[in-house]
Each structure stands twice: as structure tokens, then as C-alpha cells.
Amino acid sequence: MKNITKLWIGLGIMGLLTPLGLLATGDAWGEWGSEAFKDMVGFVPKGLERFSDFFSAPFADYTISGTGDVSGYIISAFSGMLLVILLTWTVGKIFTHNDE
Amino acid sequence: MHIPDGYLSPQTCAVMYAAAAPFWYTAAKKLKKNLSSKMVPLLSVFSAFSFVIMMFNAPVPGGTTAHATGGVLIAIILGPWAAVMGVSAALFIQALFFGDGGILAFGANVFNMAVILPFVGYWIYKLTAGSSGPGSSRQWLGAALGGYVGINMAALAAAIEFGLQPLLFHTANGTPLYCPYNISQAVPAMLFAHMTVAGIAEGLVTAGVLVFLKKSMPEVLAAT
């Protein structure tokens, strides 16, 4: 594969620009927290309440405790990209063929 | 479109894991056969791109938000099976570390965004572009249409999964146990957000990045 430095730089620029994604307020449809259902339909469905906290992610909603919304979002973007790269690099090396 | 835990019943989640599993298995076999290890850095770059583009939430009229996924782009550059792997990896990191999409609902999210989205987008792209050469207007159109239709079909699948919950899983008196919105509420809401905003974003991202690659890094497209 030829030099893809430009693409890595592009990822870095995108990481720095991610706070633009914070400008839009509100949740995506169907991604509300369980409490929101009290206002929307008047009750929190039992099963939804039971399983909504099945797992607590360490950096929920791309926030990092001790940092601000914007800096936490940027740190989340870069650490998330790094984790995705590590995962796809490892899995990719296993599930591709070597034709050097 | 990242379904959180609690919206789908455990039974639905199990069915969706079962629906996603054969695609992971086949992706692993297909990539072993068809993808060279030299392409792994490119797969990593575009998987990370998929992760980060999903952080760019755009406002949807009515107070919700939506975003592009980059899944159709991976399918066009590296093939739909590479997109299954790349988008699944992005979704996995999102669920595990950032709580974006549930762990129980991970199979459903993979089926919608890492299977339906790249495959539908890729087919539309292929149908539109036909055998026209790289850089032709039919290719850009195919990429834009593929992105638009692919993400909308994924949103439709998610809406059906949401909408079946009150029908299938409720208490004796009919009170919903999980997602309380039925098909006639979930489908229009999801399609509205994706037809007006996310579909256009996905189409622009898919065609835009292809134009950029064609203009400034044609060797990337030639290598695929």
C-alpha cells in the first residue's frame, strides 16, 4: 500500500473538529435515557428500566470526568479512534492473507 | 441509530446477535481469501473514520439529532465484507467505552449499521455506476445514492426492531415492557431523521471522500 499519511492527517483534523457535533442539542430518536419516558409517554417501561443500566460504559456520552464537554469530546475522539485502529489492525492482520 | 440497552427485549437481542453472527463469520472467511494484509492500514484508517464521523451529530427538525456512518464509503473502497468488519469494530468500541449503543443491543446495531447499511449502499452504488470508469459522474452519483439509501434502509430496520417491541412484549394489560413506540410511530420518525439529514450527510461523505481520493490520492482507489 502506498503512502497514506494524508489520510492519517485527515483523521487528526476530524478529531479536532468533533466538538462541532456538540452544537446539535437533543438525542437521536430512540436513544433517550430511561427517565425521558416519564415525560414522553407518562411512564418508564419496566423492562426498559431494568435493562437500560445493564452495562455502564466508562466514558458514557463521550464525556471524561475531570474534563470539560469540549475537551472530553476531543479526548474521546482520539482515544476512540486509537482503540478502533488497534482493534481493526489486530483483527485485520489475522483475517487477511499475507502476499509479500 | 445506536439502539441502547433496554429498548429491545432480551429475546430480540438474542435473535439479532444470531442474525449478525453469520455475517461476521463470512466476513472473516472472505477477507482471509480476498484482502491482502497490505490493505490493513487502509481498513484501520477508514474504520477510525467511521468511528469519528458518527460523533458529528447534526440537528434534525423536531429536536432530535442524526449522523453519517461512513459505512458505505468503506464498502465502496474495500468491499462490503471489509465494511462489516470495520463498522462492527467502530460500534464495539462505541458500546464498550462510550455507551453509544447497548451491549445487549450490539448484535442489532451491527446488523443495521454494519450489515444492511454497507451492503445496500454497495449494491446501489454498483447498480448506478455500472461499468463506468473511476471518476465518472455515474460513480459519484452512485456513491451519493448508495450512502443515502444505505443509511435509510438501516434506519428502517432499526425502526422495525423498535416498533415490534410493544406488539410482542407487553404486560397482561398491554403496557409495553420495552420500546413503547409501535411501527407506525417508529418508522416515520426514523425515516424522517434519515431522509432529511443523515441520508444527505452519508451521501455527501461517501461521494465527497471518493472525489478527494480520486483527485489527490488516486493510488488508494487503484489499489482496491
Q: What is the pLDDT along chain B (224 residues), one digit of tens a residue?
A: 999 999 999 999 999 999 999 999 999 999 999 999 999 999 999 999 999 999 999 999 989 999 999 999 999 999 999 999 999 999 999 999 999 999 999 999 999 999 999 999 999 999 999 888 777 899 999 999 999 999 999 999 999 999 999 999 999 999 999 999 999 999 999 999 999 999 999 999 999 999 999 998 988 887 66
Does the beta carbon of A54 lie under 8 angstroms from any beta carbon of chain B?
yes
Q: What is the CATH number of the domain that holds B101?
A: 1.10.1760.20
Provide φ and ψ at B66, rounded to 5°. -155, 165
Is A24 close to B57, i.e. CB distance below 8 A? yes
Question: Which of B9, B36, B45 best tests the A interface by mutation, with the highest count of A CBs <10 A?
Answer: B45
Kindly identify which residue of chain A lies nearest to residue B163, measuring between CA atoms.
A30
Is residue B200 situated within a structural domain?
yes
- Nearest Cα of chain A lies from the Cα of B188 at a distance, in angstroms, of 11
Query: Using one digit for the tens of pLDDT, what is the confidence trace for A5-58?
Result: 999 999 999 999 999 999 998 899 999 999 999 999 999 999 999 999 999 999
User: How far is B151 from B67, CA to CA, in rounded Å?
Assistant: 10
- The set of cell numbers assigned to B95 is 458500546
Rounded to two decimals, what is the model's pTM? Answer: 0.96
List the 129-148 stretch of B: residues with Cβ below 8 A of A.
Answer: none
User: How far is B146 from B140, CA to CA, in rounded Å?
Assistant: 10
- Tell me if B57 sits within 8 A of B75, measured CB to CB: no
pLDDT at position A99:
74
Confidence bin at A59 (pLDDT 50/70/90) = very high
Does the beta carbon of B57 lie under 8 angstroms from any beta carbon of chain A?
yes
Does the pLDDT of residue A1 top 80, yes or no?
Answer: no
pLDDT at position B219:
85
In sequence order, which residues have a C-beta less than 8 Å from that of residue B74 and are 6 or more positions away? B43, B46, B47, B50, B82, B83, B86, B87, B118
Which residues on chain A are in Cβ contact (under 8 Å) with B67? 21, 28
Is A55 close to B193, i.e. CB distance below 8 A? no
Amino acid at B203: G
Is B4 close to A31, i.e. CB distance below 8 A? yes
Is A62 close to B100, i.e. CB distance below 8 A? yes
Is residue B86 situated within a structural domain?
yes
Domain hosting residue B120, numbered range: 10-222
Confidence bin at A3 (pLDDT 50/70/90) = confident
Is residue B175 situated within a structural domain?
yes
The DSSP code sequence of chain A is: ----HHHHHHHHHHHHHGGGGGSS-SPBTT---TTHHHHHHSS--HHHHHHHTS---TTGGG--TTS-HHHHHHHHHHHHHHHHHHHHHHHHHHTSB---
Number of domains in chain B: 1
List the 12-51 stretch of A: residues with Cβ below 8 A of B.
Answer: 14-15, 17-18, 20-31, 34, 37, 41, 43, 45-51
